[in-house]
Amino acid sequence: MEQIRNEVELCGTITAPPVFSHENHGVKFYSVSLWVERLSGQSDTLPILLRAPLPAAVEVGARVRVLGQLRSFNNKSGLGSRLILTVYAMTVEPWADAPVNRVILCGTLCKPPVLRRTPLGRSICDVMLAVGRRYGRADYLPVIVWGQLAQTVSHKIVGDILGIEGRFQSRVYTKVIDGVPQQRTAYEVSVMHLLEEPSPD
């Protein structure tokens, strides 16, 4: 198993026009929202980061296939989550087939796994995975693992390598600030499979 992998494939529908995000080293970046249906009938609206010039396929209502990487940024605004997740798009092309939401990550556990149970008694394990980038940087990516896989992952320790396959998903929750409830959206990777570890020589 490779020690670093960060691959995202999303196929869905663009729901809003591109919005300017930021400029870095003279390159402008824009964000768009991609709506991706799940097999269950639920759906996720996911943030995509694009660099200028924007691909011709990027327009409201267009069905597209995005290949890229999952990235994290520190939120310095003081509003919302301290960690912002987005998919950095490397290619965007027209897509006319079924929805796809596939993420493959391999990185290092940077916090102890937290095993808990849902109100219905199902095991769930929260993991923070550090996936390296070039120039010594890393993306810190929240991952949730369910059921028997959660039990397996809960025994790992900080510094262990973990490889997973899953989906990038959105989750709406309510946070009360100064007595006022506010709706917010969290993003995370939900694990479907663990990637096999190399067998010892």
Number of H helices, E strands in the chain: 1, 12
Read off the pLDDT band of 201 (50, 70, 90): very low
The pLDDT score that the predictor gives to residue 108 is 96
pLDDT tops 60 at residue 78: no
The pLDDT score that the predictor gives to residue 77 is 57
* C-alpha of 90 from chain center: 15
Cβ distance 60 to 93 under 8 Å?
Answer: no
Question: What is the pTM (predicted TM-score) of this model?
Answer: 0.89
Tens digits of per-residue pLDDT, 107-133? Answer: 999 999 999 998 888 999 999 999 998
Query: Could you tell me the domains of the chain?
Result: 6-100 (2.40.50.140), 104-194 (2.40.50.140)
Read off the pLDDT band of 9 (50, 70, 90): very high
